[in-house]
Chains A and B, each alone.
Chain A
Amino acid sequence: DAGVTQSPTHLIKTRGQQVTLRCSPKSGHDTVSWYQQALGQGPQFIFQYYEEEERQRGNFPDRFSGHQFPNYSSELNVNALLLGDSALYLCASSLAWRGQGMGEQFFGPGTRLTVL
């Protein structure tokens, strides 16, 4: 049973460019959450997708957007990249409890984004 997978592993971009990161959830999971983790800090919640819709959002600008596909996989898009967007981007999947939140989150290995 494959766990959460993310691609690419590493990515280098320049300021102003756009980037798309991808995540495949753990088998049986239907909810995907994205986190940004700067070096030496804990993960910061970006947003969560369930049933192909953004259900929750953290304190991130509109430059950060996402999508969830019918097979539950998800993408994170970041436009107009800034130097400060350099971080490890983590995807976590879980199984939603109907109307009552979600079960345990399982994290992927992350995508290391470097903005030059």
Chain B
Amino acid sequence: KNQVEQSPQSLIILEGKNCTLQCNYTVSPFSNLRWYKQDTGRGPVSLTIMTFSENTKSNGRYTATLDADTKQSSLHITASQLSDSASYICVVSINTNAGKSTFGDGTTLTVKP
């Protein structure tokens, strides 16, 4: 069964600190992996997308890494801001069709002043 496991489930950090969120998956075959940011009560917004051949992708203060061999990905947030408080969801797809994507349950990040 295709699964996406994210850790930790929740995380609290102080403003200005860095943090790393983890995503392990068993989805196969692999097409791409996305990280989304979802603010409370809002829809997810894509942060990064990586295909099999990519092992790192940055979007401002967000840097995602991918190890397709171990089926692990991480999202690193540098110099956190209060606005980074949100749920971060890892999504792994076997192709580009919506029904072939598996969503993780997300990591809830709280940034405190």
Q: Does A24 contact B (CB under 8 A)?
A: no
Given A41-B105, A42-B104, A107 contacting B98 (CB threshold 8 A):
no
Pick the contact of A102: B41, B44, B97, B105 (CB < 8 A). B97
Contact A48 B42 (CB under 8 A): no
Contact B99 A58 (CB under 8 A): yes
Contact B41 A88 (CB under 8 A): yes
Q: Does A28 contact B (CB under 8 A)?
A: no
Residues of B within 8 A of A43 (CB): 44, 89, 103
Q: How many A-B residue pairs have CB under 8 A?
A: 62
Pick the contact of A109: B42, B49, B97, B98 (CB < 8 A). B42
Main secondary structure of the interface of A (DSSP, over half): strand
The count of residues in chain A whose C-beta lies closer than 8 Å to any C-beta of chain B is 31
- Bound Cα distance A27, B113 (Å): 38
Residues of A within 8 A of B95 (CB): 101
Interface residues of B in 73-113 (CB under 8 A from A): 89, 91, 95-99, 101, 103-106
Given A42-B105, A107-B43, A107-B44, A56 contacting B99 (CB threshold 8 A):
yes
Q: Does A110 contact B (CB under 8 A)?
A: yes
Write the B32-43 contact mask toward A (1 if CB under 8 angstroms, else 0): 000000000111
CB distance from A48 to the nearest CB of B (A): 5
- Bound Cα distance A104, B41 (Å): 21
Contact A109 B43 (CB under 8 A): yes
- Bound Cα distance A48, B98 (Å): 7
Q: Does A112 contact B (CB under 8 A)?
A: yes
- Top 6 closest A-B pairs, CB basis? A101-B96, A107-B43, A42-B103, A56-B99, A33-B98, A42-B105
User: Which A residues form the contact surface with B (CB < 8 A)?
Assistant: 4, 31, 33, 40-45, 47-48, 56-58, 88, 90, 92, 94, 97, 100-110, 112
User: Which B residues form the contact surface with A (CB < 8 A)?
Assistant: 4, 41-46, 49, 89, 91, 95-99, 101, 103-106
Give 5 CB contacts A-B under 8 Å. A42-B89, A43-B44, A56-B99, A92-B98, A107-B45
